[in-house]
Amino acid sequence: MRNALLLALLSAVLIVSGQLLPPLAPLLLIALVPLLWAERSLSHHQDKVLLKPWLPVATLFVLLWQGAYAFSFDRLGEAPTWGLAALMLAALLLFQIIKFALGLQRGYLSLPFLWISIASLSFWGLGQSVSLLPGAGLMHLSGFNALGQWLGQLGLGLWILIFNLIVFLLIWQKVHQKSWPRGLLVVLLVFMALIFVPLWLSPEGNQQASEALGGFAPVDRFVARISLFISIFLLLFTAVKLILERRETNK
């Protein structure tokens, strides 16, 4: 548990540093790897959902991350700040539940979409959730700024989250099984192509972010909607599966 808490602390430091310190922005590409490692270490030998060990780790990460971000912008006393933090914590807990119920592939795929569903609340006019966008710190870099103009802030955030997942899976598989996770990586890469090819080909993708959308580009509409749709679908699928399994157990 202590190692998991230290890894959560490391992830919080990396993501805050990448978001607030421009020279360290590339750290966002690996900021979530320690947190994912902590979650996988806690759940590696479990055969059922056990949120108790994961809850303090996820809570520490969210509180440190959002607390440091809010402190830097003098927003510690604002209720929306902690409301968004609570929603992000819920997303991290739901990620583990989905992973146990539906398997590793669907579980890891759910995390970026749950994350972006919370981060897109600003798009729907439900508060300022820019602090939840992992790509915000990279937008000042010319290459990522150009990518962000094509993918939008939400699309770039989704890309960065999936990139973190791929890095984590490569390292975990190589360390523990001495091989590369080809099947899961193929699924992730194909999924990335299915999501991002339409964005690259979108005629709206190269437009500047619109002030009417609170800094979001028109292409973010697609990302916000598909993230919400996939998240709801996976949550419903998980709920049905868990209910059916419980009924079978009680027979």
Using the predicted structure, report yes or no on whether residue 233 has a pLDDT greater than 90.
yes
pLDDT 10s digits, 133-149: 776 666 666 566 666 66
Around 147, how many Cα atoms within 13 Å sit in the side-chain half-sphere? 18
Comparing 106-120, 147-161, 199-213, the range with the smallest average pLDDT is 199-213
Of the two residues 41 and 177, the one the predictor is more confident about is 41
Average pLDDT in the chain: 78
Q: Which tokens is 100 given?
A: 């146990």
Question: Using CA atoms, how far apart are residues 85 and 234, in angstroms rounded to an integer?
Answer: 22
**Closest C-alpha among 129, 136, 130 to residue 22:** 136
State the DSSP code for 209: P
Determine the pLDDT at residue 208: 43
pLDDT 10s digits, 167-206: 898 888 878 776 655 666 666 666 566 555 544 544 444 4
Using the predicted structure, report yes or no on whether residue 12 has a pLDDT greater than 90.
yes
Distance of CA 194 to the CA centre of its chain: 18
